Every structure is written in C-alpha cells, then in structure tokens.
Amino acid sequence: MKRGNLYRIYPNKEQKVLLEKHFGSYRFVYNKFLHIRSTFYDKFKMSVSKSYLDEQLLRYKELYPWLKEINSQSLQQANKNLDNAYQRFFKGLGGYPQRKSKKDNNSFQVPQHYKINFSTSELFIPIVGWIKVKFHRKLLEEFKLEGIVDHDSNSEFLRTLTVSRTPTRKYHVSILTEDNINCPPTEPYTHVTMIGVDVGIKTFAALSTGEKIENPKFLKASLKRLKCLQRRVSRKVIGSKNRRKAVRKLAKIHELISNQRHDFQHKVSLYLICENQAIAVETLNVQGMKKNHKLAQSVSDSAWYSFVLKLQYKAEWFGKTVLKIGQWEPSSKTCHVCGYKNNELTLKDREWKCPECNNTHDRDINAAINIKKFALMGHEVEPVDSFSLEKGMKQEATML
C-alpha cells in the first residue's frame, strides 16, 4: 500500500537558491514540451511521443546551459508527468494539460538517488545537498528504519520524493513509500452498520442517525481580515518590497484557512470511517453549484469534493465501503417514512410536514436517511424497510 508522507524542511540561503532553480527549470521544461505537443497536433495532426521529447531534452541543455545545473532526473520527470497528464486526458479522467504558472506551481520530483539520515534528521537531495527536516511522524515505523537510508538500496520501500514550496515560503518534502502490505479486505455491511451522510452549507454533514456536524465556516470567520489585507495589497506599488510583504501576510491567512479546513475534514472523515462499516454519500455537481453567485463562496468553503476523497482513501485503508447515489435522486424532497415526494420544497425550507403520514421532517436528516436507503437499494445487503421509488425519481434541485 502506497502512502505519501509530508515533512517540513529548512534549507539555508544557498539551498533555497538551488531549490528555486529546480522549480523554475522543471516548470520551463514542462511548459516547453506542452507547447511542442500542442503545436504539432494543431498544425500537423501529429502526436509527439515521450521518447522523442526525452531526446529533445539533451538538445535543450545545449541551447540553455543553465539546465545542466539541475538534477537531470527531475527534468525527465517533468516530461513523464506531462505524458501522464495526456494519458489521463485521453481516458477522460481529467482536462487538457495546462501550463504551469509561477504563482501556484512550485515543485519538482526526485525519483531516486536521495538519502535520509534519521539520526541527524537530514535529507540529501542531489545537487542541493543535505537539508534539515522535521520528522514529526515516523517513516515506515513497522520496518524500523534507522541511520542513513539510501533510496537506491531501499527502492522497494522508498519511491518518488517531491519537493514543494508554499506561497508563504515554507518548503516541504513528500516521500512516497510502499510498505508491501495489501489493503485489508472489504468488511461486509448491513443496514445497521451503514450510515447515510448528507453534506450541506449550514450543517456540514447530517447523519442518518439524527446527528448533525456543524459547519465551522473557516473562510467566513476570516473574511473580514482577508478583505483588510487584500485592500493593503491593492494599495501597494506593483513590484515593490512593501507589496511583497503585504502579499506574504495575505498568503498566511489563506494558508491558515486551508490548514483549518483540512484538519477538520480529516477528523470528521476518520470518525465516520471508524464508527461505520459503510458510508453512503450523494454525488454532487460542485462546479455547477458554484455558478450560483449567492452560494459560490459558501460552497467553496465547505469543500465537499475534498471531504469525499478523504472518505474514499481512508475507507480503502480500513477495509470499509463508500457508496454513492445518483446526482438527481430526490433525497431531500422524499418522505423517508411513506415515500411521498414534496415538489414544493424549496431551499429555504429547513423543515416540512408530510401531508400523507403527518410526520415532520428535518430537511437534512431526512435527506441523509434517504441517501442511505437509495444506496441500500442499489446493492445486495440484508433486507431493509424502504419505500417504493415509483413516487419520485425526477430531477431534484441542485442546491442543498
């Protein structure tokens, strides 16, 4: 099972210069090869292979001598990553590859020849040298790695190393490891050991058990400070030192919000995975929801897509199951007791009373129960009491 381990590194001034050269060269090669592949196809309808571009890399080093100062394997990795991006595009797993920007793409990869010294908490990167690293979490603790560990002699455990820099000038390394341990088999589940989750804006997650997890709204809590710092940036002269300082302060607030959001989602996802054998969620058109300018900011702040991704890979780690229901299932409008569909339900209605069975429903809890039932109907599990779907399978409003 592969895992990425992220650690903070502390390069000195000379090493920072070398790292910045690697970031720029990696981005230069990626964008250059992307331009070649796009141009050949647009003008001649020809596909350029990865091996052909590898040969062109040698010629580029003669044309641009400063590329020789960079780890050659990191430059080759740029071509490999571009080819992987094209393959994902052809398979329908992503969009067309885009140019890497200096503002938000500062990273490069080291596939081999790096070393780790656990005794002195240092990391050796080719060309750059030994860098101080903070091992806040043990790396492959079950294998008890100690002293100096060389990638070349431990390639079955250590994979690619990625060096990155945040907008706040913090440097990190992500070490991809392989522990050669298969994921546990998926545990069987029933309607008792399964839970339905309905994500929203006011309430981050409503569970089919009746529990609600409030949305902390980290962006909204820091919005006043963000506006103040953004105004300060706009008043500074472009290219001045004062503007760079103001941008750095603004980036720190954005980084804080991002860290808070990820920490919250990690805790909630781990709680749900550990307490249940299966979790049912709804497929959401997040990009479509963002087109509503009144809710776009709240939808982005909730980051539902990121939350579902955390549920999926943690479920794989623990042998649990994540089920998804269709995007247009009428989970909020359908009474979970009798199956009546309330077509008059609007987004502002947080509670509603069923005219057939006279049960009063909380909108989010009712949706979570229905999500669980819809998921159970699509999979073979133990019998569960449920209503007929004949009463309502029409398109539901895209907003929660």
pLDDT surpassing 50 at residue 226: yes
pLDDT surpassing 60 at residue 392: no
* Higher-pLDDT residue of 87, 379: 87
Structure tokens at 343: 């077509």
pLDDT bracket for residue 384 (50, 70, 90):
very low
Residue 87 CB neighbours (<10 A)? 12
Domain ranges of the chain: 2-178, 194-216+261-391
Q: Which residues pair with 150 in a beta bridge?
A: 115
pLDDT bracket for residue 292 (50, 70, 90):
confident
Q: What average pLDDT does this structure show over 126-146? A: 84
Please answer whether residues 213 and 268 qualify as being in contact, where contact means their C-beta atoms are separated by less than 8 angstroms: yes
pLDDT surpassing 70 at residue 395: no
State in Å, rounded, how far the first CA of the chain is from the last one. Answer: 36
pLDDT bracket for residue 72 (50, 70, 90):
very high
Task: Provide φ and ψ at 118, rounded to 5°.
Answer: -75, -25
Catalytic residue (choose from 282, 301, 329, 396): 282
pLDDT surpassing 50 at residue 148: yes
pLDDT bracket for residue 287 (50, 70, 90):
confident
> What pLDDT, on the 0 to 100 scale, is given for residue 321?
92
Rounded Cα distance, 353 and 362, in Å: 9
pLDDT tens-digit profile of 35-56? Answer: 999 999 999 888 899 999 999 9
Q: Which of 261, 287, 289 is nearest to 400 (CA)?
A: 289
Structure tokens at 268: 């909630």
pLDDT bracket for residue 333 (50, 70, 90):
confident
CATH class of 194-216+261-391: alpha beta
Q: What average pLDDT does this structure show over 243-259? A: 94
Structure tokens at 336: 């979970």
Top mean-pLDDT range of 91-105, 245-259, 350-364: 245-259
Q: What average pLDDT does this structure show over 172-183? A: 87
Q: Which of 202, 200, 220 is nearest to 261 (CA)?
A: 220
The 3-class secondary structure across 124-154, one letter per residue, is: EECCCEEEEEECCCCCCHHHCCCCEEECCCC
Q: What average pLDDT does this structure show over 323-332? A: 86
> What pLDDT, on the 0 to 100 scale, is given for residue 398?
32
> What pLDDT, on the 0 to 100 scale, is given for residue 397?
33
pLDDT bracket for residue 143 (50, 70, 90):
low
Mean pLDDT of the chain: 87
Q: What average pLDDT does this structure show over 298-307? A: 91
pLDDT bracket for residue 336 (50, 70, 90):
confident
Q: What global pTM score does this model have?
A: 0.84
Say what percent of the chain tops pLDDT 90: 59
* Higher-pLDDT residue of 357, 181: 357
> What pLDDT, on the 0 to 100 scale, is given for residue 340?
87
pLDDT bracket for residue 142 (50, 70, 90):
low
Active site residue 179: no
Catalytic residue (choose from 301, 329, 364, 396): 364
> What pLDDT, on the 0 to 100 scale, is given for residue 331?
86
Active site residue 214: no
Catalytic residue (choose from 198, 301, 329, 396): 198
pLDDT bracket for residue 399 (50, 70, 90):
very low
Annotate 321-335 with b (16+ C-beta within 10 A) or e (fewer).
bbbbbeeebbbbbbb
Please answer whether residues 196 and 15 qualify as being in contact, where contact means their C-beta atoms are separated by less than 8 angstroms: no
- The helix-helix angle for 241-275 and 304-318 (nearest 10°) equals 50
Active site residue 198: yes
